[in-house]
Structure 1
Amino acid sequence: MKLPLLLYAAAALAAISAPLPCPAAEAPGYPLKPVSFERVRLQDSFWLPRLETQRRVLTPYAFEKTEEALSDLRAAARLLAGEELQNPPPPHRFRTSDLFKVMEGAAYLLALERDAELERQMDAIIEVVAGAQEPDGYLNATRTLYPDLAIGMMGDGRYTYVDHSHELYIVGHLYEAAVAYYRATGKRRLLDVADKNAKHVRRVFFEGDPNYNGGKPVMQAPGHQEIELALVRLAEATGDPTHLKTAQRLLDIRGVTYAPDGQGVNSPSYAQQHRPVTQQQVPAGHAVRATYLYSGMADVGAMLGVDHYDQALQDIWRSIVDTRMHITGGLGAVHGIEGFGPEYELPNADAFNETCAAVGNVFFNWRMFLKQQDAKFLDVAELALYNNALAGMNLAGNRFFYVNPLAADGFRPFNHGRPERSPWFGTACCPTNLARLIPQIPGMLFATDAEGLSLCLFAACRTKAKLGGVETQITEETNYPFDGTIRLQLDPKTPARFAVRLRLPTWTTDRLAPGELYRYAGGKPDRAPRLSVNGTQTAFTADRGFAVIEREWSAGDELVLELPMPVRASACRSEVEANHGRLAVSRGPLVYCLESADNQRHAFNYLVRADAVRREAELRDLTIDGLQVTAIATPAESLSGDGSLDAATATLIPYFAWNNRGAGSMAVWLPDNAQTLRDGALQIDDNAQRFASAQATHTFDQDSVQAMIDGRLPKHSFDTSLPRWTSWPRRGEPQTLTVQLKQPTPLRTVQVYWYDDHGGVQVPERWVLEVPAGDDWAPFKLYNTDNYSVTPDQFNVVHPAEPITVERLRLRVWPQPDAAAGVLELVVEPESD
C-alpha cells in the first residue's frame, strides 16, 4: 500500500512545482459563457416566486439560524482585539461555513436587486469577519478561541487534522461569499480578507510557515472539498493567478501525499483520497465532497486550459448515470458515509440522497455542460434541480429535508429524527446550500459563444446578449416545467447572423434521463419535438442534444419549441433490486410521487400499471401551499383490509412538493403487480421487537423504563397519551439507561425522543452513548458531523463513525440542574442487509 503512495507522491511533487501551463492559442476558460444571473429578469410563475420566498423568508430566517456562527466570529474578533473573554462559545468545527453560504446567497439577491437594509446587514457581518482574521491571514473562529485545545475531529491545533477539521472547507465558502459580494456591490472588504487567507493557505500548505507544522509545508488535501472551486472564483475576481495554482496543487496532491487508513469516515475513499484524482474512474465516498471535487476539477482544467482531468470526469459521470443515480437525480444513497455504494445500490425508503449532494450534482453537471457543450449534462442538472434539490425545502421556505428518500411510511423518522421536514439542523449545510443555489438559477438559462446562443434550462424571462456581434434582446415565454411550449423572441438592434441552439431534453426520447438506469415502458413518445420559426414549422439539425437553427435574425423573429409532455412510466434496470416489479411516473422533467394526503389509503397500498399510466392518466390542477401544480390522476388498484384488490384512482404530485401538508406516507416507485404490492404493503418497522430489556438507575413509580422501547412513536415531547420513562423527582441527578438487544445488531442510527413537560421534567443538559468494551464501557464514536442534541419534539439522532455491531447500549444522561430527565422512545435502526 505504501509503495504506490510514494510513487504517486514523487509524480505529484514534480507536477505542483512545475510552472503554470502555457495558454492555448485561445484564452483558457469554458468555451461556453453563461449569461450571468443578474442580467436575467425572471417573469415566470415557478422560479420567480421562489426568489421572492428566498428574499422574504429563507435569507432572514437563515441569518437568524446562523447567529451562533456569527457569535463565534464576534468572540474571536474581541479576543484578537485584546479583550479578555469570560465565557467563549464552545468549539464547533464547521458552522461558520453555513453563515458564509447564507452570505453568498444574500449577495446574489443584492446583485439581482439592491436592498439597502440587507446590504447594511452584510457590511456589519463583514466587519466582524474581518476582525476575526488573524494578522497572518488565518481565519477559524474556534481555533482562534482555542488554539491548542485537543478537539474531537479537529486535532490538537491548527491544520493538525486536515482530514476532518473543515478549516479549508470553511474558508472556501468564505471565498465564494466574498467574490459574490464584490461582484454585487463592488466592495472589496471581504474580498481582501479572502485574498489574504488564500495567500496564507498557499504559504502554509505549499511553501512552509514557521508558525505551522514545524515550518514544513503541510502538503495534504482537505478532507472536505470546497476550497478548490472557490479558489478558481477568487483568482478570477482578484486577477491573481496564484490562487488558481493553489487550487491545482490541492487537486493534484489528493490521494498522493496522504491517504487515511481506516473504515467509514476514515477510509481512503470517503474523501476521495484513495488514488490520484486523474486516476479515479467511479464515484466514491461522501457524495457532497465528491461532487465538489469534480466541480473543482472541471473549473481548474477549464481555467488552466488543460485536459488531464477530463477522462476521469467523463468516466465518473458515466458511472453515476449508468449505475448510481436515483431517478430524482439524488446521489449518495448509502447511510453511514452519506455517499456512493456499490453499483445499483439504490434503495427507496433507506435512500440518503442528501440535499447538498443534489446541489453538488447541479454544480458538477453545469460545469460539464460548459466544457463539453453537450445537453446531456444539462438534463442531469435539471433532473437533480427540479426533483431532489427542490424537495429539500418546503414551499414556504422555512422547513427542510437533509435526507430525501423515495418512500416514507409516515411513521418512521428519516429526516434527522423526524418523519417530516425540520425547521433547522445541527449540521445546517442543506438549507444554507439552497440559500445560495436558488438565486443562481437565472444564470443557468442561457449561454453564448462565438457561434451564437444556447437555450439551457427553461423559464419565462428577459435578458440581453451580444450575438453575431449585435446587442440582442431575448424574451422567453413558457410555463415550464408544467408545459413544454417555449417561445423565444429575438430582437437584435440590427439584423445579425448567428446560431440558436434549443435544448431537446433526454426526457423527450425513450428515457427520462441520460444513462442506462431508466427506460420508459412503451418506448419513445408518440410525438417528437417540433420547432417553428415565425409561425412556420422548420426542420432543424440536432447536435449534442440541441436543435440548431443558424440564419440571419431580425427584430421580432420568434422561435417556438414544442416539447411533448405525455405522462410516462419508467422501469429500472433489473440489477436494482429495490425496484423489481415497480415503476415510476414522470411528466417532462418532473418525477411524481403518490402521497397519502391526496389518496384514501397508505401510499404503499397502491398498484399502477404502465399501460394505464401511459394511455389513461389525466392531468389535474392542484394547489399546495399556494403553489399551483399539475397533478396526475391515473387508474390504479388498492389493497383493502381483507387483502382484496379494489379499483381506484391514484393521485400523484411532483416529488418536490411532497411533505408540505404534514407527515404522511409517500412512494415514488409503485408496484405494477399484485405480488409486489402485497410483499411491500404497510411494512412498518417495529422497533420494540429488537429489544430484550431496559434498565435505569431510577424510574418514577408512575412511569416505566420499558416505555422507552415499546415502539410507540410520540407526536411531540409533551405527548401524555403515551407511557414514558422519567427520573422524577431526582432533579439534577445524572442517570444511566441500559438496553439489551435480542441479538447482535449492526447499527445505522440510535435515536432518542426526549420527554419534556415544561416543568419538573425537561430535556437534559447533555447526554452520551456508550458501547460495551470487554467488561467495561467505551464511548460511542460519533459520525463526524453528529452531536448529542437535546432538541424537543423530534428524535435526536446519532450515527456511528464506522461500522459497529452491538448487543447492549448505555445512555448516560445529565439532567438540567432543577429538573429530572425523561424519554418517550429509544429507536435502534440497524443497517439494512
Structure 2
Amino acid sequence: MSISSVTRYVATTAAVAFLLVAATTGDCLAEGYGVRPASFDQVMLEDDFWLPRLRTQRQVLVPYALEQTSEALADLRAAGELLAGRRPDPLPAPHRYRTSDLFKVVEGAAYLLAIERDPVLKAQLDRVVEAIGAAQEPNGFLNATRTLYPHVAIDMMGDGAYTYVDHSHELYIVGHLYEAAVAYYHATGDKTLLEIAHKNALHVRHVFFEGDAKYNGGRPINQAPGHEEIELALVRLAEATGDPIHLDTAKRFLDIRGVTYRPTGQGVDSPAYAQQHLPVAEQKEPAGHAVRATYLYAGMADVGAKLGVSDYDAALDAIWKNIVDTRMHLTGGLGAVHGIEGFGDEHQLPNADAFDETCAGVGAVLFNWRLFLRRHDAKFIDVAEVALYNNVLAGTNLAGDRFFYVNPLAADGFRAFNHGHAGRAPWFGTACCPTNLARLIPQVPGMLFAQDNDGLMLCLYAAAKTRLTLGGVDTEVVEQTGYPFDGAVNLTIQPEKPARFAVRLRVPTWATDRFVPGDLYHYTGAAESAPVRLLVNDSPVEVSIERGFVSVDRTWTAGDHVRLELPMPVRFSTCRSEVEANRGRVAITRGPLVYCAEGVDNTGHTSTYMVPPESIEATAEVGPMSIAGHATRAVTVAAERIIDGGDVEPASLGMVPYYAWNNRGVGSMAVWLPDNLETLRDSALVVDDNARRFTSATASHTYEGDSTGALVDGLLPRDSYDTSIPRWTSWPHRGESQTIELELAQPTDLQSVGVYWYDDHGGVQTPLRWELQVREGDAWRPFPLYTTDEFGVAPDQFNVVHPGEPMTVDRLRLEVWPRPDAAAGILEVMVRSNEE
C-alpha cells in the first residue's frame, strides 16, 4: 500500500476512532468533555513510526484476525439456521465469548473500509453483518450459544439466558457488538448493524430493568454484568443513534454495581474481582480483573461527561492516583497478578511473573484518554502514552501475526511461557488481546490534535497535519517530528487570515524528574536532562508549564512556526523500596520508551549483567537499528557481567525498546537490572530444573521405551515432535484413557500448570481432551479452572491452566482421553508457584 493510501486511510479511519474516545461534535463541550479531538477528515498522518504499523494493520493483522475468528462466525450462522427452522449440521459446541472477538475485528475492519472503496472487504463484512442479523431473535436477544442451547446448563453460563451474569459474558459480547455497529455505520453509512445493536440494547434494558416474562420469571434482573464493556459501548450507541435512552441504561448499570448484587466467594468469585465490592462512586482503589476495571472506569468517565454530572469524579481521581502511586509497572502495564489477571496489593509488581495483559494496556489508554478529555490535564495523556508505546505495542510482533497475552518485565528464555507459548503465540483460545489490537491501533491518529475554547492542543506527537477552526479562522496546522526517537516537535501555523488563539504543546512527564506520573518511579539524577526549550519564529520563549502544557497565546499569521525541544537523554530510573522485585535495580528509558536487554544482543543470559551506579546516563550510546525491517533506536550502556567463579568483568549491555522484544526468537530479557554486586549474585540465572519440584511421577501405563521421569525432567521441547529429549507415551494403548499422578516436593501455592503434548503424527497424537484434579486430604477433586482458561490440546506449546481460586497443592492428577486410533504422549508438565 502506498504512503498516500495509508495517509488517506488514517485520515478517514480516525473518524470512527474519535467516536470511541470522545464526541466529535461541538456538543461535547456542553456535555462535559471540554476538549475536542480533531475530527477524522482533518488529520493526515505522515510519520515513519505509525505508518508502518497501520500498513501492517491493513495488510496483515485485521485480515489474519478475521480468518482466526471464523469459528465465531460459524456460531452465528448456526444460530441463524436454527431460527430459520433448519437444524444446523454440525452443531457448534457452546462457547461463552468468542463472538465478542469477531465483533472487535469487525470494528477494526470497518476502519479499513474507510480507505478507497474495497469491495472485497466490504462484501466480507456484509456477510458477517448478515449472519449477525440472522442470529438475532425477534425480541432483540442476540447470543449464538444461548440460541443454540437455550436451556442447557453450560459451565460458567448457567442454565439459560441471563442466569449467570457473573461470568456468562452475555453483556460483554453485545457491548462489543455495539462498538462494531457504530464503527461500521460511520465507515459505510449502512445502518443495518446499528439497527441490530439498537434493538438489542432496548431488549437488554427491558429485561434487566423492567422485566420480561421469558427471563428470570418476569422479574427485572437488575444486576450489573461480571465483565464490564456494555457501559461504555452504550454511550457510543447513544451518540450514533441519537437516542439518549442508551445513555440512561449505561448509568443504570453503573449505579446498581455493588448495590443490588454482590457475589460471594474467593478468586474469580470474589466481589472485588468484577468490581462489585462497593458502589462505583465509593470505590477508591483499583480492584480485581484489570481489563474489567479499566473498561468500568472508562464507562464512568463517559457517562459522567455526557450527562454533565460529577457523580464518579472523586472515585476516578482516587483510583487513578492509587494506580500511578502503587500499582502500575514502568511500562504502563496494569494487572500484575496472575490468577485474577488483575490488581494485587499495593506495590505488588513482580517482573518475570508480571501478568500485565495486553487488553489491560488497551484499557489503560482508553481510561486515561477519557480522563484527559474530562480534566484537561496532560498527565493523563502521559500515562496513556507510556501504556501505548510500551505495554500495548509489545502485544504484537512487528510482523502483525504473533501476539502476547501476558507482558512480563523479565524472561529467562528457558522455562518462561506466555499463556502457553514459548514467546509470542499465533493466536489464543481466549483471543481478546489480538482483536483489541485490531481495533485500537488505527485510533492513534485521533489522539494527536485537540482543541477547546482557547485554541489548539498537541497531545500525542507524530508527523501529521490538520485543518481546524481556531480563533474563528480556518487554519492549517502542520507538525513535523521524529518522535518517539527524537524530541524536537516543529509546528507550522497557516491561518487564512491573522487570528488570535492559544497553541499548547504537551511537555511529557518523562521530560521532568521521572518517567511517568505518580510516586513509584524517579530518575536517579546521575545525569541532568537539558532544559525544555520553546521557540516561536526562531525566538526563544519562556517555558511555563501548566497542567503539562506550554502555551503560546498570540495573534498568528500564515507561516508562523513553533519549535518545542524535548531533550531525550538516556535516563536511569529507580523504584520505591516497597516494590520488592525492584530493590537494588535500575531501569533504562529514553523519551517515552522503556528499554530492555535481550540475550540475542549480548553475551550470555541477561540475568548475568548489572549496571553499576558509576554507569551514568551520560555514558550511554544511542544508535540506529533495524528489527524485523522496522527502524528503531538501540541503547548501549556500560555494565558488568558475572562470570564463572562469581567474579565480574566490564561489559557493554545492548538494549532495545521493550515493544520490540521477542521479534528475533525466544531468549532472555530484562527491564530491571541489578545495580550492585549483591543483587546480581542473588539473581544470576540458575537454570530451572523442573525435576526439583517433584518427588515422583507415575502413570497408568508407560511404553517400555519411554519414562514417567520425562514428564518432569526440566527439558523443554522445541516442538511437539521433538525426539531429542525423553518423553512419556501410553503406546500401544490406543484410545484408552490414562491417569498420571504427580507428587510435588513441597506444598505449592499454585499459579499455573502447563502440559506440552507429544505428537508424532502417527500412533501418538494430541488427545481429545484432558482434565486436572487436585488432592485434598484423602480425596481427589476437580481442578477449579480459571474463568477464561480451558484444558487445551494444542501442539507445539504449553497448554496452560490457572486455578480460579487460591490453592496450595502437593499432588496433581491428570486424566487424559486419547483419540480413538492413537495413544497419548507428554514431553513436559510445568508447574509454577505464586512464590517465584
TM-score by length of 1: 0.96
* 1:490 paired to 2:493: yes
For 2:770, the equivalent position in structure 1 comes to: 767
Whether 1:824 and 2:827 are equivalent positions in the alignment is: yes
Alignment partner of 1:300 is 2:306: no
CA distance in 1, matches of 2:544, 2:806: 53
Matched, 1:127 2:140: no
Of 711-720 and 78-87, deviating more is: 78-87
Return 78-87 or 440-449, whichever deviates more.
78-87
Deviation at 1:566, TM superposition (A): 0.5
Rate the CA distance shift 1:524–1:493 in 2: closer, same or farther, 3 A: farther
Name the SS for the 2:114 alignment partner: helix
8 Å CA contact 1:541–1:549 kept in 2: the answer is no
Partner of residue 554, structure 2? 551
Which residue matches 2:382?
379
Determine the C-alpha separation between the residues in 2 that align with 1:37 and 1:66: 28
Aligned to 1:689: 692
SS at match of 2:347: coil
Aligned letter for 1:334? V
Query: Separation in 1 of the partners of 2:115 and 2:365?
Result: 21
Q: Give the Å deviation of 1:738.
A: 1.1
How far does residue 41 in structure 1 lie from its aligned partner after superposition? 1.6
SS of 1:494's partner is coil
Indicate conservation of the 8 Å contact 1:248/1:300, yes or no: yes
Counterpart position of 1:729? 732
- Which residue of 1 is the match for residue 10 of structure 2? none
Residue 106 in structure 1 maps to residue 96 in structure 2: no
Distance 1:187 1:716, change over 3 A: same
State the alpha-carbon separation in 1 of the partners of residues 723 and 644 from structure 2: 30
The amino acid of 2:537's aligned partner reads N
Among 177, 180, 205, the residue aligned to 1:177: 180
Question: What residue number does 1:147 align with?
Answer: 150
Partner of 2:583: 580
Aligned residue in 2 for 1:640: 643
Q: 2: CA distance between counterparts of 1:804 and 1:781?
A: 9
1:523: Cα distance to partner?
Answer: 6.9
User: Does 2:538 correspond to 1:535?
Assistant: yes
Q: Which 10-residue stretch deviates more, 737-746 or 346-355?
A: 737-746
Residue identity opposite 2:281 in structure 1 = T
Q: Distance in 1 between matches of 2:543 and 2:557?
A: 19
Deviation per CA, 1:437-490: give whole Å up to 9, x if none.
100000000111111111000001122111111221111111100000011111
Are 1:38 and 1:112, in contact at CA under 8 Å, matched by a contact in 2? no
Distance, in Å, in 2 between the alignment partners of 1:114 and 1:644 is 64
Offset of residue 132 of structure 1: 0.5
SS in 2 for 1:169: helix
Q: 1:314 aligns with which of 287, 305, 317?
A: 317
Q: For residue 803 of structure 1, give the secondary structure of its aligned residue in structure 2.
A: coil
Shift of 1:68: 0.5
Matches within 5 A, 1:248-327: 248-327=251-330
C-alpha distance in 1, partners of 2:797/2:178?
Answer: 35
Aligned letter for 2:76? L
Matches of 1:425 and 1:128, distance apart in 2: 23
Matched residue, 1:5 = none
Offset of 1:413 from its aligned partner? 2.8
User: Residues of 2 paired with 1:601 and 1:319: CA distance?
Assistant: 38
What corresponds to 2:216 in structure 1? 213
1:392 aligns with 2:395: yes
Contact 2:335–2:343 (CA under 8 A) maintained in structure 1: yes
Percent identity over the alignment? 66
Counterpart contact for 2:757–2:825, Cα < 8 Å? yes
Contact 2:526/2:616 (8 A) holds in 1: no
SS of the equivalent of 2:644 reads coil
- Which amino acid letter does the alignment assign opposite residue 518 of structure 1? Y
Q: Which amino acid aligns with 2:375?
A: Q
Q: Which AA in structure 2 matches 1:590?
A: L
1:110 deviation in Å?
2.3
Matched residue, 1:30: 33
Shift of 1:691: 0.9
Aligned AA (1:525) = E
> How many pairs align?
811
Tell me, yes or no, if structure 1 residue 738 matches structure 2 residue 741.
yes
Aligned to 1:362: 365
Tell me by how many angstroms 1:662 deviates: 0.6
Deviation of 1:831 (Å)? 1.7
Q: Is the 8 A contact 1:540 1:549 kept in 2?
A: no
**Uncovered stretches (5+) of structure 1, i.e. residues with no partner:** 1-23
Q: 8 Å contact 2:42–2:468 — kept in the other structure?
A: no
- Preserved CA contact (<8 Å) 1:37 1:440: no
Secondary structure, aligned partner of 1:404: coil
CA distance in 2: counterparts of 1:278 and 1:111, whole angstroms: 39
How far 1:773 sits from its partner (Å)?
Answer: 4.5
**2:711 aligns to what?**
708
Deviation of residue 739 (structure 1)?
1.2
The residue that corresponds to 2:794 in the other structure is 791
Shift of 1:686: 2.3
On the 8 A contact 1:510/1:524 being kept in 2, the answer is no
1:221-240 equivalences in 2 (<5 Å): 221-240=224-243
Query: What is the alpha-carbon distance in structure 2 between the residues aligned to residue 384 and residue 588 of structure 1?
Result: 13
- In structure 1, the residue matched to 2:13 is none
User: Is 1:747 matched up with 2:750?
Assistant: yes
Matched, 1:507 2:510: yes
2:436 equivalent to 1:433 = yes
Partner of 2:412: 409
Does the residue aligned with 1:412 lie in a helix, a strand or coil?
coil
Q: Structure 1's 639 and 523: CA in aligned 2 closer, same or farther, altered over 3 A?
A: closer
CA positional deviation for 1:687 = 1.6
Find the counterpart in structure 2 of residue 199 from structure 1. Answer: 202
Matched residue type, 2:560: D
Aligned pair in 2 of structure 1 residues 112, 511: CA closer, same or farther (>3 Å)? farther
1:619-698 matches, cutoff 5 A: 619-698=622-701
Contact 2:634 2:655 in 1 (8 A): yes
Q: Is the 8 A contact 1:225 1:293 kept in 2?
A: yes
For 2:831 and 2:765, how far apart are their aligned partners in 1? Answer: 22
SS in 2 for 1:796: strand
1:347 aligns with 2:350: yes
Residue of structure 1 in register with 2:22 after alignment: none
- The alpha carbon displacement at 1:610 in A equals 4.0
* Deviation per residue, 1:582-635 (Å, 9 max, x gap): 000000000000101110121001111344241200111111000111111111
CA drift at 1:212: 0.8
Matched AA of 1:640: I
Give the counterpart letter for 1:341 in structure 2: G
**Would the aligned equivalents of 2:749 and 2:809 in 1 still touch at CA under 8 Å?**
yes
Unmatched tracts of structure 2, length 5 or more:
1-26
Could you tell me whether the CA contact under 8 Å between 2:691 and 2:713 is conserved in 1?
yes
TM-score, normalization: structure 2?
0.96
Whole-Å separation in 2 of the counterparts to 1:167 and 1:684: 44
Q: Deviations over 1:7-56 (max 9, x none)?
A: xxxxxxxxxxxxxxxxx997213110111345322111100100000000
Hey, what's the Cα distance between the residues in 2 that align with 1:574 and 1:684?
27
Larger mean Cα displacement after TM superposition, 565-574 or 531-540: 531-540
Counterpart code for 1:348: N
Q: 1:685: Cα distance to partner?
A: 2.9
Of 413-422 and 697-706, deviating more is 413-422
Instruction: Measure how far apart 1:526 and its partner are.
Output: 3.4
Q: 1:642 to 1:133 in 2, by over 3 A?
A: same
C-alpha distance in structure 2 between counterparts of 1:351 and 1:345, whole Å: 9
Looking at structure 1, the residues matched to 337 and 403 of structure 2 have their Cα atoms a distance apart, in angstroms, of 20
> 1:328-381 CA deviation, whole Å, 9 max, x = no partner?
000001111000011101111011000000110000000000000000000000
Aligned equivalents of 2:775 and 2:647: distance in 1?
Answer: 48
Alpha-carbon shift at residue 682 of structure 1 (Å): 0.5
Letter in 2 for 1:497: R
Structure 1 CA distance, aligned partners of 2:123 and 2:479? 34
1:567 is matched with 570
Q: Within 2, Cα distance between the matches of 1:815 and 1:189?
A: 46
Q: Distance in 1 between matches of 2:704 and 2:781?
A: 30
**Could you tell me whether the CA contact under 8 Å between 1:417 and 1:797 is conserved in 2?**
yes
